[in-house]
Amino acid sequence: MNIGIIGAGLSGIVAARELVRQGHTVELIEKSRSVGGRLATRRIGAGKADHGAVYFTVRGEALKQAVADWVERDWVSVWYADPYPRYIARDGMNALAKQLADGLTVQLNERVETVSMESGTVVVTTDVATRHYDRLLITSPLPQTFELLADLSSQVAESLRELTYAPTFVGLFEFAGDTQIGADGIIDTDLAPGLLKIINNRQKGISTSELVSVYMDEAWSEAWYERPAKDTLLEIERLLTTVTGDAPIQSRQLKRWRYAQATDVWHEPYYKLNDAPIYLAGDVFLEPDDASGRTRFESAYVSGLRVAAAMRS
């Protein structure tokens, strides 16, 4: 089969790898200039800072087996283990996405505009080309997915269309000298209101320079989302100084994630449209017995596996 996948984040990459392994022709379409989605790493000067997923944990057997292979390949390592291992990618989380996507066909910098059906074939129109597939997987955040499926919205359950997302702001700060953040490079408790977690990427082991990622919580990010970026960054910096004091900052950047975290989840690992060979997957799609009840790296990985199995059957 000729299969298209919209979105080259973790779910899309995992599904593509499985489908290629089964002998299918697979093409990923990604609007950004790199694969990875929220497995995002930014170069700042001589250093690197993760500004999407900070780390990942392992609960189930499927991811456990994959991580054992990644550790052997030296792609990932344990950052700290209190009370259970937090895994990080050796060169930043985006490096892991690129390693997993190596050898796959990926169309970067291509934005999908519409998805429709024509004589049993899925037609994907982008700002570059019109592409035809036997089956299609969409892994973008659900609000963006439903915009693409405007003509097919009646084939999606109303309860799925009602799921909502919360935004997240991440401030990236380059310090002039050593700036210790906790024992392991992370503080995520007893912070000023609005702060979710603070990470030192040098202590984490992915940066040669002192780059600190500051994650804001959902309520704060929602309240500040429409405010000017300059004001938002200044406020994040003010809150950061409650931890770092007067340590000099050399540069600062702001990352805005509109669909960072789903406020609810779908308790199946993927969704198929009623009368079209179109599937939806991603971190919001959890297995029914998933005890965590929240979106995360592992839910994205497992969703990719499960939807690939469904698509090839």
* Confidence band of 83 (pLDDT split at 50, 70, 90): confident
- Give the model's pLDDT for residue 261: 86
- Tens-place pLDDT, residues 227-253: 999 999 999 999 999 999 999 999 999
CATH code, residues 2-39+93-163+266-312 = 3.50.50.60
- The average pLDDT across 180-206 equals 97
Q: What is the DSSP letter of 193?
A: T
Amino acid at 210: E
Indicate if 165-262 has the same CATH topology as 2-39+93-163+266-312: no
pLDDT for residue 313 is more than 80: no
- Give the model's pLDDT for residue 153: 85
- Give the model's pLDDT for residue 255: 97
- The average pLDDT across 171-178 equals 96
In sequence order, which residues have a C-beta less than 8 Å from that of residue 211 and are 6 or more positions away? 44, 47, 48, 49, 172, 173, 174, 175, 200, 201, 202
Nearest to 257 by CA among 141, 163, 168, 142: 168
- Give the model's pLDDT for residue 217: 97
Under the phi-then-psi rule, with left for phi > 0, alpha for psi from -120 to 50, and beta for the rest, what region is 307? Answer: alpha
Per-domain boundaries in the chain: 2-39+93-163+266-312, 165-262
* Confidence band of 123 (pLDDT split at 50, 70, 90): very high
Range in 42-56, 114-128, 150-164 with the lowest mean pLDDT: 150-164
User: Measuring CA to CA, how many Å separate 216 from each of 51, 84, 100, 220?
Assistant: 11, 24, 29, 6
* Confidence band of 163 (pLDDT split at 50, 70, 90): very high
Q: List % helix, strand, coil for the chain (3-state, nearest 5).
A: 30, 30, 40
Nearest to 301 by CA among 156, 139, 148, 144: 139
Under a CB-based contact definition with an 8 Å cutoff, are residues 199 and 171 in contact?
no
E strand or H helix at 215: strand 211-216
- Tens-place pLDDT, residues 27-76: 999 999 999 999 999 999 999 999 999 999 999 999 999 999 999 999 99
pLDDT for residue 312 is more than 90: no
Supply the mean pLDDT for the chain. Answer: 96
In sequence order, which residues have a C-beta less than 8 Å from that of residue 210 and are 6 or more positions away? 47, 174, 175, 176, 177, 178, 179, 200, 202
E strand or H helix at 15: helix 10-21
pLDDT for residue 187 is more than 80: yes
- Give the model's pLDDT for residue 228: 97
Q: Is 165-262 CATH 1.10.150.20?
A: no
- Give the model's pLDDT for residue 82: 81
- Give the model's pLDDT for residue 66: 97
- Tens-place pLDDT, residues 249-265: 999 999 999 999 888 99
In b/e form, how buried is each residue of 160-187, taking b as 16+ CB within 10 angstroms? beebebbbbbbbbbbbeeebebbebbbb
- The average pLDDT across 209-219 equals 97
User: Measuring CA to CA, how many Å separate 103 from each of 35, 37, 72, 100?
Assistant: 12, 18, 20, 9
* Confidence band of 171 (pLDDT split at 50, 70, 90): very high
CA 70: distance to chain centroid? 18
